[in-house]
Structure 1
Amino acid sequence: MLLLLGAVARAQPTPNRTHRQRSISVSGNPADPLPEVRGAKGIGIAFHFDGLIREESIKVDESRIRVVDVGKKSLLIEPVTEPQADQPSEVSVTFADGEQERAAFRIVPHPSEVDTWIEVTRQTEQPGAACQARIDELRARCGAQSPTAFRRSGLLPDRGILARTFERYADGSGGLVSKGGVSFRGSDWALVDVEIMNPTRQPWAPRVATFKSKDGTPVTVRLVTPAMEEIPPGTSRHVLVETDDPPAGAGVFFTLEVSGADGRFLRVGNVELAPRPQEGKR
């Protein structure tokens, strides 16, 4: 690293160009455009990588770029001709640890700046992709063993267990209407099956929901599962909303609010839950 810094410092300065140090994240996706590095003739550019690189894998156009030095995790190059905007030079290297095979860059001109130190980090996934995949996995696992799955499979009927029905209700934005539904209650869960009518000319996709008692006590919503991704204009579809068991003292009357991807929502203020199993008939 000291060798690289020394070599960069000894390079001839370019008038009216500010030397810059910055970081670049490389994705490893061949479909992504190559990151651009600002270069100038005779000014060294030092790359410092977050992993070991293979010296024999370095590729440059030797008529336009000179490889000055190669370290285990570093590379120093120097343009021997002025970079061209319409014909940028390419520098590429292969990592030795197998985490992401290749990193490549385009050397381009800039009227007032030149990059002399580049910190290179690898980004093998889009931001948040791993987290979102984990969330989807957990959601699918919970959904496969939840009351929602039983209801969708027909194993949770309207009769013979603790359930309550509620009637038509319309309150919200965009003209959405609840045609009524049925609620269920277990030892540690509640489930609301509401049929939502979309009389508008635009499809509506339910996404999230809130569930509150009449005094405003919120109840955690576990899953929102529409029968279809969207409710087409002029049709109705069932939407299942599974929640934690409401706290003691919250009563049996609740307000369900289902919001869509476009901001429209439906508030159903007449949801009645059955009493807890130990409080009612089995």
Structure 2
Amino acid sequence: MLLLLGAVARAQPAPSRAHRQRSITVTGYPTAPLPEVRGAKGIGITFHFDGLIREDSIKVDESRIRIVDVGRKSLLVEPVTEPRADQPSEVSVTFADGEQERAAFRIVPHPSEVDMWIEVMRQTEQPSAVCQARIDELRARCGAQSPTTFRRSGLLPNRGILARTFERYADTAGGLVSEGGASFRGGDWVLLDMEIRNVSGQPWAPRVATFKGKDGTLVTVRLVTAETEEIAPGESRRVWVETDDPHAGAGVFFTLEVSGADGRFLRVGNVELAPRMREGKQ
């Protein structure tokens, strides 16, 4: 009887999960938590994007996620193992138009639902006044005791520490030009100090930044601050970007993108980091 009951229990079908279609808005901010997508083994998930995507940029854990099909604006993936809450799989892709370049998602389990169609939209609205005030408050708090503070006060010189300079870089799509700058490297931080000229007819206020290696490695940005709140048309101001120290395999050449409150951004593609100090050296 016990053997019979055990066989019946094993023969019971797994509970069905409701198939869902929904939309997800991605912000493009590297520090924002990844949106969660509910998945299940053997059930395909279609992502439909609001812009063209780069097929060669798609990244998945191939031992857990299978790429079924890729379109100009779509991606179909299928979990080959059951998603785990403690070790969610990640799916990421890069937009081809350069707007909010990367979109990434975490595939997680759900007891009763599975997402089969995800409409992916990029955030176009600017942060509210309350949200922006909170960002400014956190920026000020983070900058109270940081390498940026020392650089602004003149206590972090160009000579006598590990530093590299990078040359002028013109990217006039947003009416902004980098007049060159310097990178500094500490034990666990990197500081970029550069001068940005506003060649457009509108003021520009730097707000956020992304810092990416040539291999696509994204580095956490701790702080973005400028000499003045805004850079007026025809003027230039110093802008400081403080980040975590990239891992050793990320190389020394990086691309920095600084975005303004109005959505315009400056992409600087020739940033060279200072080398790491060798152990035993002071």
TM-score (normalizing by structure 2)? 0.51
Q: CA deviation at 1:216?
A: 1.0
For residues 269 and 138 of structure 1, what CA distance do their matches in structure 2 show? Answer: 28
Report the residue type matching 1:208 in the other structure.
Answer: V
Look up the match of 1:110: none
**Is the contact made by 2:139 and 2:224 (CA closer than 8 Å) also made in structure 1?**
no
**Is the contact made by 1:209 and 1:258 (CA closer than 8 Å) also made in structure 2?**
yes
Q: CA deviation at 1:173?
A: 2.4
For residues 268 and 147 of structure 1, what CA distance do their matches in structure 2 show? Answer: 21
Aligned pairs (5 A) from 1:99-118: none
Aligned pairs (5 A) from 1:1-282: 138-171=138-171, 173-278=173-278, 282=282
Gaps of 5+ in 1: 1-126
Taking a change above 3 Å as real, the CA distance of residues 279 and 266 of structure 1, as seen in their structure-2 partners, is farther
**Is the contact made by 1:195 and 1:237 (CA closer than 8 Å) also made in structure 2?**
yes
Gaps of 5+ in 2: 1-127
- Cα deviation digits, residues 125-178 of structure 1 (max 9, x gap): xx996x987765554332111000000110011111100000010125222111
Report the residue type matching 1:227 in the other structure.
Answer: E
Report the residue type matching 1:245 in the other structure.
Answer: D
- Cα deviation digits, residues 31-69 of structure 1 (max 9, x gap): xxxxxxxxxxxxxxxxxxxxxxxxxxxxxxxxxxxxxxx
Taking a change above 3 Å as real, the CA distance of residues 196 and 138 of structure 1, as seen in their structure-2 partners, is closer
Taking a change above 3 Å as real, the CA distance of residues 134 and 247 of structure 1, as seen in their structure-2 partners, is same
Report the residue type matching 1:212 in the other structure.
Answer: K
Report the residue type matching 2:246 in the other structure.
Answer: P
- Cα deviation digits, residues 97-131 of structure 1 (max 9, x gap): xxxxxxxxxxxxxxxxxxxxxxxxxxxxxx996x9
Give the CA RMSD over aligned residues: 2.3
Report the residue type matching 2:277 in the other structure.
Answer: P
- State the number of aligned residues: 155
Taking a change above 3 Å as real, the CA distance of residues 191 and 280 of structure 1, as seen in their structure-2 partners, is farther
**Is the contact made by 1:162 and 1:184 (CA closer than 8 Å) also made in structure 2?**
yes
**Is the contact made by 1:172 and 1:267 (CA closer than 8 Å) also made in structure 2?**
no
Taking a change above 3 Å as real, the CA distance of residues 204 and 135 of structure 1, as seen in their structure-2 partners, is closer
For residues 221 and 172 of structure 2, what CA distance do their matches in structure 1 show? Answer: 19
State the identity as a percent: 81
Q: Which has the larger radius of gyration?
A: 1
**Is the contact made by 1:172 and 1:264 (CA closer than 8 Å) also made in structure 2?**
no
2:224 match: secondary structure: strand
Taking a change above 3 Å as real, the CA distance of residues 247 and 206 of structure 1, as seen in their structure-2 partners, is same
Taking a change above 3 Å as real, the CA distance of residues 206 and 161 of structure 1, as seen in their structure-2 partners, is same
TM-score (normalizing by structure 1)? 0.51
Report the residue type matching 1:232 in the other structure.
Answer: A
For residues 185 and 195 of structure 1, what CA distance do their matches in structure 2 show? Answer: 18
For residues 178 and 132 of structure 2, what CA distance do their matches in structure 1 show? Answer: 31
**Is the contact made by 1:171 and 1:266 (CA closer than 8 Å) also made in structure 2?**
yes
For residues 166 and 192 of structure 2, what CA distance do their matches in structure 1 show? Answer: 10
More deviation in 140-149 or 236-245? 140-149
